[in-house]
Amino acid sequence: MSGDNFSGFADRLGEATRLTDAERAALARLEEGPVPVKRGEMIQRDNERVDALYLVQAGRLMSFIDLEDGGRQITNLYFSGEFVGPTAAVGDVAHENVEALAASTVCLIDKSALRQLMQDHPRLIAMLFLLARDDRTALTQRLKSIGRQNARKRLAAFLIEMYDRLGMVGLGENDAFNLMLTQEDIGDTLGLTPVHVNRTMRTLEREGLIEREGRMIRFPDAAALRNLAGLTSRYQGVDLSWLSDGS
Amino acid sequence: MSGDNFSGFADRLGEATRLTDAERAALARLEEGPVPVKRGEMIQRDNERVDALYLVQAGRLMSFIDLEDGGRQITNLYFSGEFVGPTAAVGDVAHENVEALAASTVCLIDKSALRQLMQDHPRLIAMLFLLARDDRTALTQRLKSIGRQNARKRLAAFLIEMYDRLGMVGLGENDAFNLMLTQEDIGDTLGLTPVHVNRTMRTLEREGLIEREGRMIRFPDAAALRNLAGLTSRYQGVDLSWLSDGS
DNA sequence: CGAACACTTGATAAAAGTCAAACGACGTGG
DNA sequence: CCACGTCGTTTGACTTTTATCAAGTGTTCG
């Protein structure tokens, strides 16, 4: 398993902005873990207390909401290197469930420690806001996709988003990647039935827009798929100069 | 126009948590406005610079994303007393448009002033996180609704959410309220065509679940509508004690 | 080996979209 | 002041998309 560059909060945030030594030290002091999470284990439950802010060090997690009828809506996926719950961490009660899709390890900062961080290192809190913003952007993009695109486009947009978020590090040879989701999971993410997900994937496959081998997926013609999804790439980079410290 | 209790940031946030005098003063110092916004005017554009954090003092705004084909997906509505862009305000570039649905007045805190606030009053930043969390919750609830409910339930859930968010203050006599949205706007919010929104509303009307007069809406049987939407009310109140200052 | 579980496909039904036309309210310019 | 154009709403006829029900295949794992 190569490419595990970011062992903890300081390294991960340090990638986005130059942190001062004091900030790095503060993060290292607050950070707990890494702790292992089993596949299927829940680290946060809707309507229960929020305990911590999580950084996914390895593995994969998802957040979802339960429906009255027993179904669920998956709201986001969290890959290695991403942060779970940057928005929720400040509240007292969770509004979503968070569960591991595969055996994972997470670092955490206990919620009570966050307050101290806010007092001592306001800049780190600004970082947290940027994470919350990225999370929100993922949500609004999905909202647009579910609300306004048919199954073909939804699936194309979803696969490409996942591909992009996995990045260099998460991709296997030939840019193949493993979603670690059943077709039912994909349906719960995109607002489709598992049957329709299957048909749609098979169609994309026949058209040469995707290749599959088990749950590994590859894009033989990424440009065409991107075009189908109606995507222009975002996330160029963020200008953080305005919050650089004056020291 | 009664019930305009919250003239600015300090009053509005003060409602949620007891603010210290210093915090109130800091907010009052940073706050600009209120400034008027004309109906149809945009105060934030996708991919352009984020200028400020906004508090809606009167009127109504919406945020939305443009689609490739000229359509749009409305992501949230903002009523009098609510905050626009608590998440976006820290970033450099907006990921959504924000436009006034009716003539409105907004107070604002310029983005550059936010940094100062972060340095001096970390507790206020925690408040901002709570606002961001509420915004996110609205988004995930909508995602669930669009992804997993049919038009009837979607519309019922939407109308009730709007009713609840308008609260005592925003409701006219007999609890009637004005969405200020065309049926096309409602469709852009719920992922439906205007024609289908119309049919669905008319059906609910015939069934006695809603009454309409122009754009005013009333719930003759709110319990039945809530039941249809599959809603249990959230937002009981938030325990903020963990971030009360030690002074 | 057998029981789950995920995937696949067909037949059919339901939900939502599209196209088109008509109506009424509203406002503006001749 | 009224004729006219624009805009939002409403309804009908029809099409497309997606869901539902059902059955069969393959794989994994105890």
Residue B45 makes CB contacts below 8 A (sequence gap 6+) with B94, B97
CB contact under 8 A, A136 and B133: no
What's the burial of A203, exposed, middle or buried (CB within 10 Å: 0-12/13-18/19+)? middle
Confidence band, pLDDT 50/70/90 cuts, at residue A66: very high
Q: pLDDT tens-digit profile of B4-44?
A: 455 677 777 766 667 777 778 877 777 787 899 999 999 99
Task: Write down the pLDDT at residue B65.
Answer: 96
pLDDT for residue A14 is more than 80: no
CB A91 within 8 A of CB B132: no
CB contact under 8 A, B143 and A73: yes
Determine the 3-state secondary structure of B83 from DSSP: strand
Torsion angles phi and psi, residue B50, rounded to 5: -85, 130
CB contact under 8 A, B90 and A126: yes
Nucleotide nearest the Cα atom of A149 (by C1'):
D17
Q: pLDDT tens-digit profile of A122-131?
A: 778 878 888 8
Mean pLDDT for chain A overall: 85
Say which DSSP state B18 is in.
P
Task: Write down the pLDDT at residue B15.
Answer: 64
Least confident range from A13-27, A179-193, B72-86, B93-107: namely A13-27
- Nearest CB partner across the interface for B91, out of A119, A141, A238: A238
Neighbours of A81 (CB within 10 A): 21
Chain A and chain B share a number of CB contacts under 8 A equal to: 151
In chain B, residues with a C-beta closer than 8 Å to the C-beta of A139 are 136, 139-140, 143
pLDDT > 90 in chain B, percent: 50
Task: Write down the pLDDT at residue B67.
Answer: 92
Determine the 3-state secondary structure of B186 from DSSP: helix
Q: pLDDT tens-digit profile of A107-118?
A: 998 888 887 777
C-alpha to C-alpha distances, B139 to A66, A138, A182, B86, nearest whole angstrom: 15, 11, 25, 14
Torsion angles phi and psi, residue B5, rounded to 5: -80, -25
| Residue whose entry in the numeric block shows the structure tokens 């702790």 | A35
Confidence band, pLDDT 50/70/90 cuts, at residue A208: very high
Q: What is the mean pLDDT of residues A132-159?
A: 96
CB contact under 8 A, B119 and A122: yes
Q: Which strand C nucleotides have any atom less than 7 A from protein CB atoms?
A: 5-11, 15-20
- Gap between the Cα atoms of A159 and A14, Å rounded: 28
Nucleotide nearest the Cα atom of A150 (by C1'):
D17
What's the burial of B144, exposed, middle or buried (CB within 10 Å: 0-12/13-18/19+)? buried
CB B192 within 8 A of CB B146: no
Q: Is the Cβ of B233 closer than 8 Å to some Cβ of chain A?
A: no
Confidence band, pLDDT 50/70/90 cuts, at residue A69: confident
CB A177 within 8 A of CB A216: yes
Confidence band, pLDDT 50/70/90 cuts, at residue A6: low
Q: List the single best residue of A73, A97, A110, A233 to mutate versus B (max B Cβ within 10 A).
A: A73
In chain A, residues with a C-beta closer than 8 Å to the C-beta of B94 are none
Q: What is the mean pLDDT of residues A217-232?
A: 89
- Closest by alpha carbon to B190, among B226, B234, B240, B156? B156
